[in-house]
Structures are given as structure tokens and as C-alpha cells.
Structure 1
Amino acid sequence: MNNVIKSIPVKDLDGHAVDLMTAYKNKVLLLIIYNNDCLGCTGRAIPLAYEFQQQYPSIQVAGIHADFLNREGTKASIKSVFTSGENPFPIYIDEHHKVFDQFNSEGTPQWLLISEKGELFRSIFGSQDNAQNRLFYAMESLVENNN
């Protein structure tokens, strides 16, 4: 895939513009594009992202809430999904689902694994076992290649 991603423009929960490729330069990134209204996202994918964050501390995990018509996220609604009321990893807002579209996402959750060189290593749709296994093996492979 060796295409360097130039920019991933999102907003933080306070409405400030952030480019994830600048903010996390030279880091392996695991991004989860999700929406609060997606039960597979909130019930399986977000807990899985948290698990991966614990298991792979060298990988930066971040969430991107894709805003769709009448399914927009706010700081309060995004935090309300978590029992602690706090985000387990950085979460950003994808206004008008531009990042979702940028990566030709199949739906939510869509996982993006980006190498420390800024190249899209894998894009995986879903939260079921097959997607989880593919994601696990992709991360293992990427971490192995970086050591």
C-alpha cells in the first residue's frame, strides 16, 4: 500500500482543528472510525481498541467519531459511552464524515493501522472475530517489522 497519508483532518472534542498525521508523527497509529449509534462499535470495537492499547503500548490508539446526518457526536455524548465518563484514549470528531470517506470506509467500525512512516498498513472493517484476528495479526506484523 506504501502511500504516505498526507493529512487526517479532524477536530478535538473542544472543536479545535487537529491533523492526526502531524499530531502523531513518527508513531504507529491504530485509528478506529466509529459512531456512538453503532452498537458493534460501542459494545465490541471500543473495548477492543482499549485492549489493544494495553497490549501494544508502542502503538498510539485513537478514536474518530464519524459524524453522519442526525448522528453527530458532541463532547458529552462521546464521553457518555464510557462507564467512567472519561475517554480511554484520545477521541476526535470527523465532521461530515470526511475522514470516513477519505479512507473509503465500508461502515463502522473501520480500523486504520498506519505505520510510523505514515503509510496505511491495513484498513479493516468490522468488530467480529474475523476482523479482530486480522487486526491482531496486522499489528503483530507491524510491531515485529519495527523491532
Structure 2
Amino acid sequence: MTKAPEIVAKTLDSQPINISEKYYGNNLLILFYNNDCLGCTGRALPLAYKAMQEFKGIEVIGIHSSFGRAITKEEIVEIFTSKELPFPIYLDEEHKAYDLYQCEGTPHWIIINKVGEMYRSFFGSQENTQTRLWYSLSELTQAD
């Protein structure tokens, strides 16, 4: 495995954050998504929440990648029924982290292990991707 590229993004309050440093030492599931993507809001975000509940050894975060349209904190929070974030969400305003990880579209999943190595990368939210994601998360947490 290779060391995962460093991710610098912004909090929803526009504060810079080094995600790689903040989550180092934890298994991390990153969901790159976009509010305008129906596969993201309809399948991927609920799946990320389910993963957070099922795999206690995994930190889950979302990274909203923007492609030409700025988004507000209110717009991000608004898509959740509870009007509260189920897990931390960060902003990738110029899709730099998205590009760095060579994401194929949204939603795109990145799994990083505790020592900062990229463990797996998946594009999509359909059943096949969900199965591969679940298998990888199970495998990673059982290895701990």
C-alpha cells in the first residue's frame, strides 16, 4: 500500500483543516460527494451513515467537492432530514482533493488505514460498489 495523499479542505465555517493530520491513527472512510448528485444524496450519504453505525473502528467523513458552484453550510445541512450532520463534512471548494485522489465521479469512496495508507478506492453507490465497500470495511476492521 502507498501513503495516502494529504488532504487539506475547509470546515463548513470556511476554516482550513488538514484532514490527513486530524484523522491520522484512525481507519478513515471518506465519501467524496456533491449535493447535486442524486446517487450521493439518495444512496451514498445514507450508506456512509450506516457504515458509521456498523463499523465502530472506522471514522466516517464527507467531503463536498464543488464543480463551479459554491455551496453554503445551510445547503449542505438542508439535505439531511434531521437538519443536523450525521458525521463531519468538509468542503473541497476547487475539487483539489477530489483531483488528488483521482476520483472518477461522485460519489467516490476512499478508505485510509490507521497508518495513513490508502487501503481502497471505489466509485459509485450501486449494489456492486456497496458490496465491495462493505467487504473492505469488514476486512480492515477485522485486521485491527
TM-score > 0.5, shorter chain as reference? yes
Q: Which residue of 2 aligns with 1:144?
A: 142
Report the Cα distance in structure 1 between the residues aligned to 2:72 and 2:21, rounded to whole angstroms: 23
TM-score by length of 2: 0.98
Task: State the partner residue of 1:9.
Answer: 8
- Does the 8 Å CA contact 2:55/2:138 hold for their aligned counterparts? no
Counterparts of 1:89-100 in structure 2 under 5 Å? 89-100=87-98
- Report the Cα distance in structure 2 between the residues aligned to 1:80 and 1:57, rounded to whole angstroms: 26
Q: Deviations over 1:22-78 (max 9, x none)?
A: 1111000000000000000000000000000000121000000001112x3210110
Q: 5+ residue gaps in structure 2?
A: none
**1:120-139, aligned counterparts within 5 Å?**
120-139=118-137
Identical columns (%)? 47
Instruction: Show structure 1 runs of 5+ residues with no match.
Output: none
Matches of 1:145 and 1:57 in 2, distance apart?
Answer: 13
**TM-score, normalised with respect to structure 1:** 0.96
Other-structure match for 1:56: 55
Alignment partner, residue 78 of structure 1: 76
Whether the 8 Å CA contact 2:5–2:101 is kept in 1: the answer is: no
Q: Runs of at least 4 residues of structure 1 off by over 4 A?
A: none
Letter in 2 for 1:101: D
Name the Cα RMSD after superposition: 0.8
SS of the residue corresponding to residue 32 of structure 1 reads strand
User: What is the one-letter code of the residue matched to 1:32?
Assistant: L
Secondary structure, counterpart of 2:60 in structure 1: strand
